[in-house]
Structure 1
Amino acid sequence: MIDYEKVMAMRKDGLRYSYTDRDVMLYACGIGMGADPMEENELAFVNEATATVRPLKVVPTFASVAAWGAEPGTSREMGLTGVVLDGERDITFHKPLPTAANITADVSILGVYDKGKDTGAVIRLRTVLKDSDGLALATLVSSYFAVADGGFGGPCGAQPKAHDVPSRSPDQVIDIPTRRDQALIYRLCGDRYALHSEPQFARRAGYAQPILHGMCTYGITCRAILQTYAGYEPVAIRRHAARFSAPVVPGDIVTLELWKDGNVISFQAKVKERGVTVIKNGISVLT
């Protein structure tokens, strides 16, 4: 069972990580970039070998895997007993991510919300990634839903209000196909949970087949912003946030609906063939 006071006090500072350009390119491939080997804009994120010298670009949401596994405590230490699902991700980018770096991560608990014995619990974390000089690169706010861990007696508290997308018709609609093997590629970025790779495990969890990582779908929505409103320039994106509402199945076509109001891009994502909305309340803030 969750011990509220104990979990709220959990934090770890200065966790050390490193990554290379290989990790940066693997992440870009994992969210489907470079599928067209003649698309120069996307090749800039997956290919460092060029006839004309150009810098390798880093997808901003690579920040979500740059310090994969950075947690303030283990599931057992937190008192979690069942399935934990990704709920939301909100990343603010302070500096451009380098193509290779030694970084540190400071991780702390922002809140733990008791939704009831039969409803589960919500845990919100904050992770600050810093470069080798101690300067902040990105701040990640993550929300997780612990399915079986409600009823521990903690506060039910109101969580931050989600961003509402406009009621008018979208300003742009784009389709981004996913590959049948995309989860097998993306899992190499860090998240090797069997739900994304093992058919038998997926069936036991209630799915007909392995599902795509929510954070892969999150990266796909960043791709959409890069190609529509950011001119494929990572530095154009200051913040990217979304709420996960349903899984993508590898091979699905993800349809992005986007609205632009000044430097704020609102978005949501659907899989029309299955009639589901997979991302809600999306917001990207441009510089």
Structure 2
Amino acid sequence: MDIDVLNSWKFDDLEHTYTERDTMLYALGLGFGEDPDDSKELAYVYEDGLKTAPSMALILGYPGFWMKDPKTGIDWKKLLHGEQWLEMHKALPTAGTVIGRTRIDQISDKGEGKGAVIYLTRDVIDKASGDLLAEVKMSTFCRGDGGFGGENLPGPKPAVIPDRAPDHICELKTLPRQALIYRLSGDYNPLHADPEVARSVGFDRPILHGMATYGIAGRAILKTLCDYDATKLKGLDVRFSAPVYPGETVRVEMWVDGKEVRFRASVVERDLVVLNNGAARLS
């Protein structure tokens, strides 16, 4: 890792035009439309009265796999998506052009053999009006890059899951082809499609994208607590714990305290937590 290069790294503004078809395809990648008789759910995958899932902000104006650039010095084969935060300022249009404006917030050196963490923010801005639609923040754990002489800086404090039974539970079944649908929204990493690639890095078969699991958790909250009203979900934060295999059932447990929601997600078939320390903010 070349800390001097990274500290001066500049991202060009990225213009991203998307259509109603893209909006519907993204929602299908999260499993919306599972109940075609539910008109409120159908609104995310049907052009008559179409709505946009708030988590779609994660794929808009995305700068791509920039850490693979040799100038960064990052060992990109050892990267892990650590945490994800989302703050919604306005509802996403069902189609339009946005500007993605990305910056590195900080780089934390965990020490030799312990890795490093890069924190980034991307503003998603409506090109026509100049309005800030969403702030997308994420952390990337660089397992092969600790000990470069930087500071061990603290990251955001994770949400605490209450020590009691959840107030709500929502189970959503994924399709065996879920990753093959989700990848059409822009993430073509073969890990999510090619069995040989998946086995080469230690998985039994292709895994679901972490951001798809994140979006499924958002879908569960929209269904359970928002009556499928996208404008009510204002923020969604998680820590990634483990991958989901397409075809598994995602159970989202929710603890409600006014407009604050704590949540975690697990796969029923393996009784394994896949998203933890979740926090959602409702209007």
Q: TM-score range by the shorter chain?
A: over 0.9
Q: Which amino acid aligns with 1:76?
A: P
- Is 1:119–1:147's contact at 8 Å kept on the other side of the alignment? yes
Secondary structure of 2:203's counterpart equals coil
Q: Go from structure 1 to structure 2 and tell me whether the alpha carbon gap of 1:259 and 1:6 turns closer, same or farther (over 3 Å shift).
A: same
Shift of 1:9: 2.4
2:93 alignment counterpart: 98
- Counterpart check, 1:259 vs 2:258: no
Q: Go from structure 1 to structure 2 and tell me whether the alpha carbon gap of 1:28 and 1:146 turns closer, same or farther (over 3 Å shift).
A: same
- Counterpart check, 1:78 vs 2:72: yes
Distance 2:166 2:277 in 1: 14
1:224 alignment counterpart: 220
Shift of 1:222: 0.4
Distance 2:135 2:65 in 1: 14
1:68 alignment counterpart: 62
Q: If the length of structure 1 is used for normalisation, what is the TM-score?
A: 0.94
1:45 alignment counterpart: 44
1:123 alignment counterpart: 118
1:178 alignment counterpart: 174
- Is 2:194–2:206's contact at 8 Å kept on the other side of the alignment? yes
CA shift digits 1:221-277 (9 cap, x unpaired)? 000110111111111011111110000011111111001101001100011321210
Q: Go from structure 1 to structure 2 and tell me whether the alpha carbon gap of 1:255 and 1:73 turns closer, same or farther (over 3 Å shift).
A: closer
Report % sequence identity: 41
Distance 1:36 1:255 in 2: 17
Q: Which amino acid aligns with 1:200?
A: E
Distance 1:75 1:141 in 2: 21
Q: If the length of structure 2 is used for normalisation, what is the TM-score?
A: 0.95
Equivalenced residue count is: 281
- Is 1:71–1:107's contact at 8 Å kept on the other side of the alignment? no
Any runs of at least 4 consecutive aligned residues in structure 1 with deviations exceeding 6 A, and if so which?
none
Distance 2:109 2:189 in 1: 25
- Is 1:72–1:109's contact at 8 Å kept on the other side of the alignment? no
Indicate the larger mover: 82-91 or 275-284: 82-91
Shift of 1:118: 2.1
CA shift digits 1:15-54 (9 cap, x unpaired)? 21111111110010000111222221111000114xxxxx
CA shift digits 1:125-179 (9 cap, x unpaired)? 0000101222101001111112222222222222111011111210011111111
Shift of 1:115: 1.9
Distance 1:147 1:108 in 2: 21
Distance 1:254 1:209 in 2: 18
CA shift digits 1:105-140 (9 cap, x unpaired)? 111001111223322221110000101222101001
- Counterpart check, 1:58 vs 2:52: yes
Indicate the larger mover: 66-75 or 133-142: 66-75
Distance 1:66 1:224 in 2: 21
Which stretches in structure 1 are left out of the alignment for 5+ residues? 50-54
Secondary structure of 1:259's counterpart equals strand
Distance 1:44 1:3 in 2: 47
Indicate the larger mover: 67-76 or 253-262: 67-76
Alignment RMSD? 1.5
- Is 1:12–1:71's contact at 8 Å kept on the other side of the alignment? no
Distance 1:152 1:194 in 2: 31
Equivalent of residue 186 in structure 2, options 169, 190, 199: 190
Q: Which amino acid aligns with 2:152?
A: C
- Counterpart check, 1:141 vs 2:133: no
- Is 1:57–1:99's contact at 8 Å kept on the other side of the alignment? yes
1:8 alignment counterpart: 7
Shift of 1:5: 2.9
Secondary structure of 1:238's counterpart equals strand
